[in-house]
Each structure stands twice: as structure tokens, then as C-alpha cells.
Structure 1
Amino acid sequence: LSTVHIESDNANNTLIAIGGDNVYLTFTPEEPLLLDSIVVTIAGLATTLTESNGSYTATLTLTGSEPDGILEFTIDFKDRAGNPGIQVTATTDESYVNHDIYPPEIEIISITSNNSDSTWAKVGDSVFVTFTASETLDNISITIAGVSSSYNELSVAKYQGYHVMDDSNDEGDIPFLITYTDLGGAIGPDADTTTNNTNVQFDKTVPEFSLTRMATNNVYGDSLAGIGSVDTLSFTISENQRDLNVELAGSQKTPEQEELNFITTHTFSESD
């Protein structure tokens, strides 16, 4: 045979086939053949043979139950004189079809942000969903915080989606959803949960101070202070906070806290 070529009609990749795809094995002999002598198998199964202008095409529709991996084939034939040809089991152009029977799966997923606390995000922070699959993926669609998001391929079968948070996003635990197929078009299960229990909370509410009061224990008035006077600062914050920095009378203070209420004091001395 002068040419032997194999391919599938898979919509994504003709080098791959899944259940329902057709596999076509096309070959051209160097001399006319006895049509009744031609026997072609693909994956050990009989095929349907057609002829056009001296070339032959054997077709097999996969059910998905055929063996996984590169599909093997055989071509047996005789010339018009009845001489048997050498059985052909390889293409002349290195073409092949890989039968993919396993759907893809995302095996590792995590979510984080570029906030100083990676479990929180504020307006303007970027949120990243990183995931690793069982094989190279195709047709990836990812939403973060309900918004269609871009993604990068970090390495083979490893990807990272990202989204910059803004005022239109809802506060709270940031959701995500990943849909995808493999290179052959087989659909994998949707992914919307991390595998390492990570999560990111979105907070777009600016904290507010209230009930702020400063007074001294000076006997002549709580707005006056002398050496030995104690100045007391109390205030309430609208929500839990971190990195609270309090300065009173030029001195850094660590206030006492009860729920969202804070209080700190300063005793005046000659150095003030």
C-alpha cells in the first residue's frame, strides 16, 4: 500500500476519538486489489469499507467500549491475481487516533487572594482559583464571584483563573465555578469546591468609628490635664478589624477590647 492514514471526526481533535465518533482508515494500493479480499479491522472490530477513485476508506463508529489508547488496526488484501499482500498495521504518515474513554477530572483546587491576609479580599484585590486536572483540558469556562473570568495555563494540566474584585460583587464567601472538557470533547464534572478547604471572604464595607470619647480625670475639668492626670480614650468600631494603630498623646497604645468596644489610657508626665 502506498499510503495509509487514520483519523477521527472528533470536533475538537482528529487525533482523538470518544464514544460516538467515527474513525476513518484510508489507504491507497500500488495496484488494483480484489475488493472481496480486503479485510480491515480497527480495535479488533470489523469495519465498513468504501472505494473511491482507487482509494479505500474503512469506517468504524466507536461505542466507547473499545480499548483505551492508540487504536490498532489491520489491513489484509490480495491483488487481482490473488497474491496476498503483507498485512498492514501502521500508517505511512505517522497518523494515529487515541481512543479516550476516561472523562477529565479536576483533582486539586484552591482559592486565594493577594490581600495581606489571603483569606480576605477588598475592592481592588485579585482573587485566584488554581486547579490541576487529570489531563490537559479544553473549553475551560471559569466564573469567580459570579463573573466570567480569565485564566492562564501555568503548566501541563495546571491552570489559574483570576478576577479583580469590585463594588458590583457580593460580600461574603466568594463562589467559583469551573466547566471544561478534555481535548477529545469529553465533559468533566463541574468544580465549585476547593480540595484543601480554602476560601476567600469579600469585604467591601469600610469600617466606621462611633462613640468616640476622650476625657481626663482632672478635677478642674475632663478637658484639662496636668502631670499625673489620666487621659482615657474610648471608641467603637463597626466591625472586626486587624492592624489597629492607636496613638494617644504622642504614645503608641494597645487598647483593651470588649467585643467591638475599645479603651486605652495615658498618664501625663513631665516628658509630655
Structure 2
Amino acid sequence: METLKPGTALFTGPSGAVLRDAAGELFAVALSDEAVGGVRAALTRAGAPVPPELGAFDHAGHLGRRAGWPTARRTVAVLADHSADLLDALRRAGANPVALQPGAGLDEVLALRPAALCAWHDGPAPDRWLDLDALADHGIGWQRVSREGRHVLLEPIGVSHRDVRARRLAAAGSGHRHLSAYWAGEDVVLGDDTPDPAELLLVAALAVKDLARWAADLPVTGNALTPGAVPAHRRLRVLDLDTGALADHPVLPVPASAP
């Protein structure tokens, strides 16, 4: 039985049938009540006749099912300070997560032969992540999530950690030395900024959503409701834990250049 694409709705409006497409746009359906009834039946009842009008819905891209986690990319290694929420979220999304010991290096990750590595550090990103940039050379997705104060940073899977650091230092301008010192973490006095259980769940959900779309190779396109959408493999996402606000910043790899 055919089904509408997730996010799509066919309903009765003030003057006839209306379609809300997956991007949130609303359209009047120029079909007779009888034709709309046939389409409704084909979408809701197994064995119902398939009217020719349903082909128009298919041609316009309004039919389809939710994409599952691809089998070939199901194994995901997890290197996290708080791994329970990430492991649970990955399983619920259809992945097969495998937890690594804290401090695991490149060789330990490669030995698992995962499709991707998801790393979550409850603090500024550690320098050892730079060594794991080599995962891309082995065809392994490399996802990083770290926390700076009450801001969580979800780095793009398609850009190395080294390049993200370089872009952030460049964007910091004259303050790049302060940012480097903060990352180094020497002589630091901290406030109570540790995420609570609900915030850890939110971080896990956002990380897994990015990884799932990468695994399924699904594009991200803007629409009327999310006009500024940036593909997850090319954006740094910042989550403000206090307000729940999200800010997406496009990030491109740093081009190789002669010294």
C-alpha cells in the first residue's frame, strides 16, 4: 500500500481538499471529491483500488516512507564521557553502537571497522581529536560533540576537527589567543555548567539526528519553515543549553596551501 511521505498531510479545507507537503507548503488539490476519495482510500486501506490520480502524487514526490538506518553503515563507535544516552539514542534510531574505552585512539577505532565514530566530550574539545581526523582517510564518518561552558558544539561530519578549529580561530580575530588558552584548559575556575539529564538527552538526540542523515545520505534543503537550513556535513551547530536556542554556522574545509 502506498503512503504519503512523512510530514505530508491530505485534509479537507474550506473549499475542498488541501495538501500540506513535507516542506510545510499548503496547496489546493484540483481534483473532484470522487477522485480525492479514491486517493484517500488507496492511502489508508490495504487492497483498495489504486486510482490514476495517485500517480500524480507520486510524480510530485509526495509519496514515500521514512528512511531507515542503512545496514552497511549500522555499526557506530562511540567515544563519550556520558555514553548511555548516546548509545540508547543510536539504538532507537536503528544503528548498532559500540562503546569504546575513554582515551581510545585511532588504532582501537579502526579495529572495530565502524561506519562512523561519534565522540562526545563534556568540555572543550581535547587535542587528541586531531589524531582522529585520519578516520576520513579510511572512509569512516567522524562526528564530534563538545561543550564550552553552557554551549554545546556539534561539528560537521564532512569537515575535519583541525579545520573547524582553524576556522573558529580565524573568526575570533584578535581574540584567537584567548580562545586557544581556553581550549588548553590551564588554571581554569568553573561555574556549575554541567548538563543535567534532560540536557544530555537533547544533546544525544541532536547528534544522532545528524549522524542518521549522514548515514542515509539524505540532503538538507531549506524551505519556508526552515529557510536557513545548512547541510549537517557542512555546518557547525551551537546549542545554548540555557535557552535551547540553535545557531548554525556554515563551515568549509581549509584549502591546502603552500607554506
TM-score, length of structure 2 as denominator length: 0.25
If each structure's strand is expressed as a fraction of its own residues, which one has the higher value? 1
If each structure's helix is expressed as a fraction of its own residues, which one has the higher value? 2
Structure possessing the higher radius of gyration over alpha carbons: 1
TM-score, length of structure 1 as denominator length: 0.25
Higher relative contact order (CA 8 A, sep 6+): 2
